[in-house]
Amino acid sequence: MKLLRYGPAGQELPGLLDAQGRIRALSPLLRDITPELLSDEALNQLRAIDPEKLPLVAGQPRLGAPVAGTRQFIAVGVNYALHAEEASMAVPKEPIVFNKSITCIGGANDDIVIPPGSKGVDWEVELGFVIGKPAYQVPKARALDYVAGYFTANDVSEREWQLQRGGQFVKGKSPPTFGPVGPWLVTRDEVPDPQNLRLNLQVNGITRQDGSTRDMLFGVAWLIEHLTGFFRLEPGDLVITGTPAGVAYGMKPPVYLQPGDVVTLEVEGLGRQTQRVRGS
């Protein structure tokens, strides 16, 4: 099942994608796709609905983030060995974990806005997942049971702010528009192995990243065990899992995003994003 939210920013309505790739409205049945609707029980009730009996949404509306009410946006850095090499960083013994502000979350095809004073806006295609039930001290063997679904993400990053302005990565990871997620949430039952998915990103039609989640240093289940060993994850929380090699920061010299660029990315089976870059 592919759940989504469509409509103008701040006015999104709930929907799902039918077998023909058309948007069906869920608004006659529920107000929004919120954290309490991500439990196994609630998702099973949604799964029992016949999409053909839901209203068809006309046209190609904007797609917002597929989940409303997210409390935490957690990211993992340097989770692919080749990315560590290109960034001249040591392969970590444990995951590098940081926050992205929830105010950076946006729709899959929303513009990326270069903030004032920015010197280096970069791209990062990533596999993301959404937590479906409260998770604390979760063992790896049961970790995937806590995932409601998976999504494509672009961990947009301002490298100078991230790496040279002191403090934590969150500074360079959180400007508005730096967290495109979606286009939809693909429920766990449709992703039998999150460690066997291709990732691809292009800038202006040129492939910059082409990798596989097989190459992650710390897989999804391992990450859930690790993260929940330190703090509690709640339903609706987003976690993105790191990026393969091919970011602008690793180029010599770096070639960062500029107004007018077009970024296209996807994770196998989870949907494609297309973002235009513009100045503020």
Name the band, by pLDDT with cuts 50, 70 and 90, for residue 12: very high
Tell whether 262 is covered by a domain: yes
pLDDT at residue 159, rounded to an integer:
95
- Over pLDDT 70: what percentage of the chain? 99
> What tokens were used for 18?
């039918």
Going by C-alpha positions, the residue among 51, 274, 250, 58 that lies closest to residue 180 is 274
Q: Report CA-CA distances (Å) from 98 to 40, 59, 124, 141, 196.
A: 28, 38, 15, 24, 24
| H or E segment and range at residue 171 | helix 170-173
Total number of domains constituting the chain: 1
Tell whether 35 is covered by a domain: no
Name the band, by pLDDT with cuts 50, 70 and 90, for residue 56: very high
Is pLDDT at 227 greater than 80 in this prediction? yes
42-53: per-residue pLDDT in tens? Answer: 999 999 999 999
Cα 106 from Cα 66, distance rounded (Å) = 9
pTM of this structure: 0.96
Is pLDDT at 269 greater than 90 in this prediction? yes
Tell whether 33 is covered by a domain: no
Going by C-alpha positions, the residue among 242, 241, 233 that lies closest to residue 72 is 233
Phi, psi angle pair for 19, to nearest 5°: -65, -20
Tell whether 177 is covered by a domain: yes
The CATH number linked to 121 is: 3.90.850.10
Tell whether 87 is covered by a domain: yes
* CB 152, CB 270: distance < 8 Å: yes
Tell whether 15 is covered by a domain: no
In single-letter form, the type of residue at position 273 comes to Q
Domain range for 112 is 70-279
Longest alpha-carbon distance in the chain: 54
Q: DSSP letter string over 33-54?
A: --GGG-SHHHHHHHHTS-GGGS
Tell whether 265 is covered by a domain: yes
